């Protein structure tokens, strides 16, 4: 019997959310190990010294410690909604590169010693481009959600939540509708329960659609 993959995760991390979304839609049950980032378990650091989440260990594949790689791995095994049809690498590079750069320096301006409003304005420019892209069909790559949407909205959620009143007042009607729809979706609710941080010796925590059924 094949052992389920092990996923090191952190509930509120946008990268880890991505991984859980793809694993869930692919119907892959896993052993979930919730990580407290201020007290990372030695087992995580042993297998991935950079100490970031998510990290996936599977019985039939390499260790994966990049969220997009985990998404593609999961969807390569089962892609019931055709998410890989929206694997828009140029868009994903925009989100993971310039948008994430400005998001971090807006949200964590003290850590980066930056002027937050400058980076907020730069990130907003990207969001206006996304709003225009969403206008024709409602999703980033057409009429249905795909990998591009699911890999992007978790970061836009983080940006929005930093100053929700300001964000909600923006003239971004298509982006607001799109983000609200994903935040209220059943799959997002399914991958967001709270769990205590894992430590060595804990009973394995099975997580996935089969456990929720």
The CATH number linked to 39 is 3.40.30.10
Question: Is residue 20 situated within a structural domain?
Answer: yes
Asked if the model's pLDDT at residue 1 lies above 60, the reply is: no
Q: CB of 5 within 8 A of CB of 58?
A: yes
Residue 213: predicted pLDDT = 65
Residues 87 and 151 in one domain: yes
pTM over 0.75: yes
DSSP string, 47-81: H-TT--S-EEE-TTS--B-SHHHHHHHHHHH--TT
What would the pLDDT profile of 161-170 be if each residue is shown by its tens digit?
999 999 999 9
Residues 91 and 71 in one domain: no
Residue 212: predicted pLDDT = 77
Residues 162 and 95 in one domain: yes
Question: Is residue 90 situated within a structural domain?
Answer: yes
Residues 118 and 180 in one domain: yes
Distance between CA atoms of residues 50 and 65, nearest Å: 9
Q: Which of 193, 197, 206 is nearest to 41 (CA)?
A: 197
Question: Is residue 126 situated within a structural domain?
Answer: yes
Residues 74 and 89 in one domain: no
Residues 62 and 148 in one domain: no
Total domains in the fold of the chain: 2
Q: What is the mean pLDDT of residues 185-202?
A: 97
What would the pLDDT profile of 48-77 be if each residue is shown by its tens digit?
999 999 999 998 888 999 999 999 999 999
Structural domain span for residue 96: 83-185
Residue 138: predicted pLDDT = 98
Residues 89 and 181 in one domain: yes
Residues 66 and 98 in one domain: no
CATH number of the domain encompassing residue 159: 1.20.1050.10
Q: What is the mean pLDDT of residues 65-92?
A: 98
Residues 205 and 138 in one domain: no
Question: Is residue 10 situated within a structural domain?
Answer: yes
Question: Is residue 139 situated within a structural domain?
Answer: yes
Residue 6 DSSP one-character state: E
Question: Is residue 1 situated within a structural domain?
Answer: no
DSSP-derived 3-state class of residue 92: helix
């Amino acid at each position: 019997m094949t052992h389920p993959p092990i996923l090191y995760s952190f509930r509120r991390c946008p990268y880890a959310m991505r991984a859980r979304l793809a694993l869930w839609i692919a119907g892959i049950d896993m052993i979930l190990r919730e990580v407290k980032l201020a007290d990372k378990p030695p087992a995580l650091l042993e297998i991935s010294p950079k100490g970031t989440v998510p990290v996936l260990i599977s019985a039939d594949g390499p260790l994966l410690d990049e969220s997009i790689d985990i998404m593609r791995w999961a969807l390569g095994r089962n892609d019931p909604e055709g998410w890989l049809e929206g694997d828009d690498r140029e868009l994903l590079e925009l989100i993971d590169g310039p948008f994430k750069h400005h998001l971090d320096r807006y949200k964590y301006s003290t850590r980066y010693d930056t002027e937050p409003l400058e980076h907020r304005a730069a990130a907003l420019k990207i969001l206006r481009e996304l709003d225009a892209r969403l206008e024709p069909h409602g999703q980033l790559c057409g009429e249905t959600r795909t990998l591009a949407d699911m890999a992007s909205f978790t970061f836009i959620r983080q940006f929005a939540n930093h100053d929700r009143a300001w964000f909600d007042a923006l003239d971004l009607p298509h982006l607001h509708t799109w983000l609200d729809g994903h935040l209220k979706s059943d799959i997002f609710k399914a991958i967001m329960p709270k769990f205590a941080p894992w430590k060595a010796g804990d009973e394995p925590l099975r997580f996935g659609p089969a456990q929720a059924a």
